[in-house]
Amino acid sequence: MRLRVWLWIAALFASFCLAGPSAAASRIKDIVQFEGVRGNKLIGYGLVVGLNGTGDSLLNAPMTLQSLESMLERLGINTRAAAAASQFNTKNVAAVMVTADLPAFSATGSQIDVTVSAMGDAKSLQGGTLLVTPLLGADGEAYAVAQGKIETGSVSASGASGSSITRGVPTSGRIAAGASVEREVGFQLDSMQTLRLSLRNPDFTTAQRIADVVNAQYPNTASAENPTIVAVHAPAGESMMTFITQIEDMEVEPEAPAKVVIDEDAGVIVMGEDVRVSTVAIAQGNLTISVQETPSASQPLPFSQGTTTVVPKSDLKVDEDKGKKLLVIKEGASLSSLVAGLNALGVTPRDMISILQAIKTAGALQADIEVM
């Protein structure tokens, strides 16, 4: 019995030693977008009322005055003949633009969030109420109606002397669940025979791997049309909705191109796993020259009728980094070897950016460099 236990432990240990590192696989739903399954942008123009003297000045914002007069006329109140524009100068109203994202497959009556932004010279929308505002799509049709209390999440205060302090943006706010969907977007997924999957990061190998994984379980249902598009066809007797739910959790190992991304402003460098370097020698050093002026006064001898003059004195100093040797990177060096070699030189991130660009210029960096 003891011998069997030891043999079982030895076999288990051998299996761990022989097993290679697991591939970094991703679900299909995480690396593609389904054609037609997307949100839609909505926009509308409206009025915000109830502001505490922080709204538009009607003399400087004619669109606010015209909108306010038109709204009151629809409610049966005539303000055009009762008072001139110069006398009607409330600051409790502001003209705003209202934007929202209509999610895919939103049903009539569902609630969505909206963003409200001031158009005129309003100082703050805090505490205001958005009046009924239709939200239009790109086709000019109204898909939702927004109304509600605005929350800006900002804080502002001012003193009698004119000093003020503001945290956040008081002229822009949100209304949680502030719009009601009134029209659905016509997209019949269940009746579709073919659906195209769009890769977020186009790649020939990744597209073909997606098609192979789907065909392995559902033969002849997927084909890679190009590095971006993989077309899938639902099997006979199965709806597209059911088919998508079955393939979106399949795992695929995505292929990424060798790329180095550089953000020079922040001094950030991101290098992909497949970055390779040909044989190259690297040396890095800094030369600093400092000049310090120390003027001194020259006093004349007594009774010499001379004048005191200022004599310039310059101290020149040259500093050069020592101990940084020439580093040789061998053919086919990996990312870890490159990083270890550059760290051995003691370079800073900004110096590393210059070194990587110089290696690319020399033709020894087998990757694309993208500067942000």
**pLDDT, tens digit (0-9, with 9 covering 90-100), for 305-333:** 767 776 666 565 655 555 455 566 666 66
Separation CA 296–CA 106 (nearest Å): 81
What's the burial of 352, exposed, middle or buried (CB within 10 Å: 0-12/13-18/19+)? buried
What are phi and psi for residue 228, nearest 5 degrees? -105, -35
Q: What is the pLDDT of residue 218?
A: 94
Spans of the chain, pLDDT less than 70 = 1-23, 80-88, 156-164, 284-295, 303-304, 306, 310-336, 345
- What's the token pair of residue 301? 């001898």
- C-alpha 299 chain-centroid distance: 67
DSSP element (H, E) containing 329:
strand 327-329
What are phi and psi for residue 15, nearest 5 degrees? -65, -35
Q: What is the pLDDT of residue 95?
A: 96
pTM > 0.75: yes or no: no
Q: What is the pLDDT of residue 85?
A: 46
Query: Based on C-alpha coordinates, what's the Rg of the chain?
Result: 35
